[in-house]
């Protein structure tokens, strides 16, 4: 598994970064996106930079997303795989959720992936694979996560219909549903050390017995990108430490 070109959105941290690192080590050519130029540059420098094309792209910006596809067309780059990973999580309660928070979450977690795929469709090769990164919250409810869960459920809702729409192009789409994973997303959502320790204690009661690491999620993404998964269409793989059992 070391040929082809893969684009990863949100590749500067968390699952996206871990996926980029693993694929780079296997010799893949990568296109990586992020909205922070300094973080993007650091990631490129940590990989085989001769095989990495970095592109600034804010997944909340329709203009950036449209430009992403145009840039690849201009560079003559075509893709064998796409990992729609960019996402945000902020805890919300119904009474205090603002329209701004609602739109921000839905724009990045749902609208962004939809229009990213639309923008990149002209450069997707036949038989290419698309992996959407969802979340366990679609399947197992957590307090103050209703908005995040709805945005990821909407993302999963695309998978079935798009498989039928794109079948004639030979493109397949599947998704991965990570459980609670040790990434920057908790801190960005305002979780302090005590709250993060609480998550670790909660995950200690799962069959796996610990919080997930990004390295636990990456193999599922790699499998869905690989030819070994050619018979899988519209599948969601739970990588949740058995939390939903």
Domain-located, residue 195: yes
230 in any annotated domain: yes
Residue 21 lies in a domain: yes
pTM greater than 0.85 (yes/no):
yes
245 inside domain: no
**What CATH number is attached to the domain comprising 126?**
3.40.50.720
pLDDT score, position 182: 85
3-state secondary structure the chain: CCCCEEEECCCCCHHHHHHHHHHHHCCCEEEEEECCHHHHHHHHHHCCHHHEEEEECCCCCHHHHHHHHHHHHHHCCCEEEEEECCCCCCCCCHHHCCHHHHHHHHHHHHHHHHHHHHHHHHHEEEEEEEEEECCHHHCCCCCCCHHHHHHHHHHHHHHHHHHHHHHHHCCEEEEEEECCECCCHHHHCCCCHHHHHHHHHHHCCCCCCCCECHHHHHHHHHHHHCHHHCCCCCCEEEECCCCCC
Choice between 11 and 183, residue whose per-residue pLDDT is larger? 11
- Asked if residue 63 belongs to a domain, the reply is yes
Domain that includes residue 87, residue range: 5-239
Residue 244 lies in a domain: no
The pLDDT value recorded for residue 139 is 94
For 58-100, the pLDDT digits (tens) are 999 999 999 999 999 999 999 999 999 999 998 889 999 999 9
Tell me, what's the pLDDT at 196? 67
Q: How many domains does the chain have?
A: 1
In a domain? residue 193: yes
Q: How many CB atoms lie within 10 A of CB 91?
A: 17
pLDDT tens figures, 182-235: 877 665 655 557 666 767 788 888 889 999 999 999 999 999 999 999 999 999
- Inside any domain, residue 31: yes
Q: Mind telling me the catalytic residues?
A: 148
Asked whether the beta carbons of 116 and 162 are under 8 A apart, the reply is no
How confident is the model at residue 85, as a pLDDT? 98
């Amino acid at each position: 598994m070391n040929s082809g070109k893969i684009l990863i959105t949100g590749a500067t941290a968390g699952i996206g970064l871990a996926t980029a690192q693993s694929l780079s080590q296997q010799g893949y050519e990568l296109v990586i996106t992020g909205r922070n130029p300094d973080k993007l540059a650091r990631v490129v420098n940590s990989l085989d930079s001769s095989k990495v094309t970095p592109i600034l792209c804010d997944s909340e910006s329709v203009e950036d997303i449209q430009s992403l596809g145009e840039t690849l067309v201009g560079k003559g780059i075509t893709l064998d795989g796409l990992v729609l990973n960019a996402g945000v999580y902020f805890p919300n309660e119904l009474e205090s959720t603002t329209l701004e928070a609602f739109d921000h979450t839905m724009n990045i977690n749902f609208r962004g992936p939809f229009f990213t795929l639309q923008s990149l469709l002209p450069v997707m090769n036949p038989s290419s694979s698309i992996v959407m990164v969802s979340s366990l919250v679609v399947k197992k409810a957590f307090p103050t996560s209703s908005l995040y869960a709805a945005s990821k459920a909407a993302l999963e809702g695309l998978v079935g219909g798009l498989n039928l729409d794109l079948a004639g192009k030979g493109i397949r789409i599947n998704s991965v549903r990570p459980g609670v994973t040790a990434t920057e997303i908790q801190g960005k959502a305002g979780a302090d050390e005590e709250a993060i320790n609480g998550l670790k204690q909660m995950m200690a009661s799962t069959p796996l017995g610990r919080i997930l690491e990004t390295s636990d999620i990456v193999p599922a993404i790699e499998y869905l990108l690989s030819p070994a998964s050619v018979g899988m269409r519209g599948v969601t793989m739970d990588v949740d430490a058995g939390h939903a059992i």
